[in-house]
Structures are given as structure tokens and as C-alpha cells.
Structure 1
Amino acid sequence: MDRQAVYEDYERTRRTFHQLLDSASTADLARPTRGTKWTNGQLLWHMLFGYIVVRALLVLVRVFGRLPRGVGKAFARLLNAGTVPFDWVNYAGPLGAVKVFGPRRMAVAFDRVLDSLQRRLAAESDADLARGMHYPVRWDPFFKDFMTLADIYRYPTQHFDFHHRQLTLDSDDGRGGKPEVS
């Protein structure tokens, strides 16, 4: 795993997230996104949550990565069976979260979670990064059947970049292209 590349991706998304929040008006944040039922503000929260959830995923890999693969596979099947309630919670979470977390609090939370992930990644051994488990592939298009800890550290940036393209923060009518931020 190229840790430096992961750090650089985290820093790129940090800059992008701050730029998006700093340049967005209240009206921009309330505008619908492209391809989701969320507003820009709600989708930004969901993008942040993609990094927050990684902390829980890291714990799961540490536990299930030490168990026989059949246990993890059964757990993934159980989670896949719960896709409908997961989808509902995944959708509803940002609806309420943006009422509690405004842009400033989202920016602070983003920085904290990235700092935490960077510290954790620096402390991981190569053996830990190679450990993995089965995942519920129906929950997220970036989940693979089997993912290593290294894959989990890369996951939130894939999730972020995908949703970044759905934001309409640079468009007066809500249908414009993605902002060019690097």
C-alpha cells in the first residue's frame, strides 16, 4: 500500500471539502443535487460520513480479519439481507444531520476525522493492512466482496470523489457541471 498516496488523497479531499463549504451560500446548500434526493448540504454531510464510517469499518476488519473467513462471509450475508433498512438510514441520516451540523461544524468534523485516520494509518503494520474481511456488496458500490484494511483506508476517497460529481454548487439552475477543485 502506498501510504503517501492515501495521505495525499486525504489532503486533496480536505482542501476540496473546505473550498466547497467556504464558497457555498445558504441557497447553494439548499439546492438539489444531481442524481440523488439530497440537497447539496445533505450530500456534503454524506460525503463527510463516508470518512466517519471508516473508523467503524476499521474495527470490523480488526475483529473479523482474525476469525475464520466463513464467519465474516456469514456476517456480510446478514448485512446484505438488511440492505433496505440500511438504505433508509443512509438516506435519512443526512436529512437530520445538516440541521445539527452547519458548514462550520462539518468542516471541523472533516478535519478531525481525517487527522484521526492519518494517525491510525501511520500506526498500522503491513500485516494489519493486509488483513481483511467480507463486506456487504449491496450496501455501497465501492464495497468489494473481500476488502483489506488497506482497501478500507482508500474507500472514503472513492466515495467522496463519486459524490463530488453529483454536487450542483456551481450552477444557478441545479444542473451544472462539477466544480473544478483540486
Structure 2
Amino acid sequence: MRRKEVVMASITSDSASATAVPDREVIRAELEATRSAYHRLVNSLSAADWKKKSSNPAWRVGQLVWHLAWGAGYFPRGVEECRKGKSRTPPAWILNPLNMLITKFGSRGATPQSVLEKYDAAHARIVTCLESVRDDEWHKGVKPLGAFGAYKTVESVFHSATLHFREHEAVIVEALRRC
């Protein structure tokens, strides 16, 4: 190994060991709390609530809860993108209209039971993904091109599941208060 490579390997090794490894159990508890909150929210909705317009003019309440369940299935992909350092997320000008169409069409015929099952299946994949993360992978990341263009790490993707839920939960709660 050349001197520069030895120095770089040493710096990389030192910075990796100096970086704290996230507590997997804390992340798992956060994900489980989010899953429980999602269940409470969906189970609190009446048939009339399901059809109410949300404060997001593009979607109704039932469409938003479907979107949350569908979207949860993409978090393991986000982890994989961080591991590889390559994002396949399309630019926001493509992603946002596509997201709206997928949600409008995908949510047709959705029921509280079907969205709970979809969310639980996605949650199980997220937890399996969490178990697969090695200590040296937590801080690997990527800057996606999509709607949420901030730099993401393996760790932040797991927290994004909760942030995504909270964002849309607030929109749903606001819609239910208005009526």
C-alpha cells in the first residue's frame, strides 16, 4: 500500500470508530411506536372520515392512509440506495405527479383492513432490513434527486418512516377537525 492509501485508510478507520453506532433497539421501538400510531389512526376513522377531503387538496383521508402504507414499503429500498451510494429516485417534477397518480389509483377499493395489512407487511420488511444493517453501514448515504433531496443515511432512512407518518397524520387530523 502506498503512503497516501495507508493514511486514508487510517483516517477512514479512525472516523468510523469515532462515529457512534445507533442503538438498533431504540430505532426498532420508534418504528413499532409509529406502527401502533398508524393502527390507532386508521382504526379511529369512520367510513365518512375515510372519504373526507384532507388539507392536502390532492387527496382524501383514505387515500392518505393508503399512501402511508404503500410508501412504507419503499424505506428498505432507501436503505439499499444508501448502502450503494446511488439513488434511483426520479426528480421531484416526475416523482410528485407520479406519487399523486399512484395514490389515486392504488387506493381505489382500499379499506381500513387492507391498508393495515399493507402497512404491517411493509413494517415487517423494514424491521428485517434494520436487522441486516452492519455497524459500518449506518452512516453510508446518498443525496436523492427526488422530492426529499436532503442527504440521507442508512440511519436517517429508518427515522424517515416516522417523519413521513407524522407529516401525513397532521394533515389527516387537521381534516377531521375541520368537519
Shorter-chain TM-score tier: 0.7 to 0.9
Is residue 2:127 matched to residue 1:118? yes
Letter in 2 for 1:175: R
Q: Does 1:152 align with 2:118?
A: no
Cα deviation for residue 85 of structure 1 reads 2.0
Query: 1:133 aligns to what?
Result: 142
- Paired letter, 2:147: W
**8 Å Cα contact 1:42/1:98 also seen in 2:** yes
1:93 alignment counterpart: 102
Residues 47-58 of structure 1 mapped to structure 2, 5 A cutoff: 47-58=68-79
Alignment of 1:8 onto 2:29: yes
Q: Quick one: distance in 2 between partners of 1:100 and 1:55?
A: 26
Q: In percent, how many aligned pairs have the same letter?
A: 20
Question: Are the equivalent residues in 2 in contact too, given 1:40–1:169 (CA < 8 A)?
Answer: no
- Counterpart for residue 56 of structure 2: 35
Q: Give yes or no for the alignment of 1:26 onto 2:59.
A: no
Aligned-pair Cα RMSD in Å: 2.3
Unaligned runs of 5+ in 2: 1-21
Give deviations 1:100-132, integer Å, cap 9, x for gaps.
432211101111111221122122111111211
Find the counterpart in structure 2 of residue 68 from structure 1: none
Q: Secondary structure at the match of 2:30?
A: helix
The TM-score normalised by the length of structure 1 is 0.76
Provide closer, same or farther for how the CA distance between residues 88 and 11 of structure 1 changes in structure 2, counting only shifts above 3 A.
same
- In structure 1, what is the Cα distance between the partners aligned to 2:147 and 2:72? 15
Offset of 1:165 from its aligned partner?
0.4
Q: CA deviation at 1:170?
A: 7.7
2-side partners of 1:32 and 1:170: how far apart?
7
Distance 1:149 1:54, change over 3 A: same
Aligned counterpart, 2:111: 102
Amino acid at match of 2:42: L
Q: Provide the rounded CA distance (Å) in 1 between the counterparts of 2:59 and 2:26.
A: 30
Q: Distance in 1 between matches of 2:105 and 2:112?
A: 14
Show structure 1 runs of 5+ residues with no match.
65-71, 177-182
Could you tell me the TM-score, scaled by structure 2's length?
0.77
Deviation of residue 162 (structure 1)? Answer: 1.1
State the AA in 1 paired with 2:99.
N
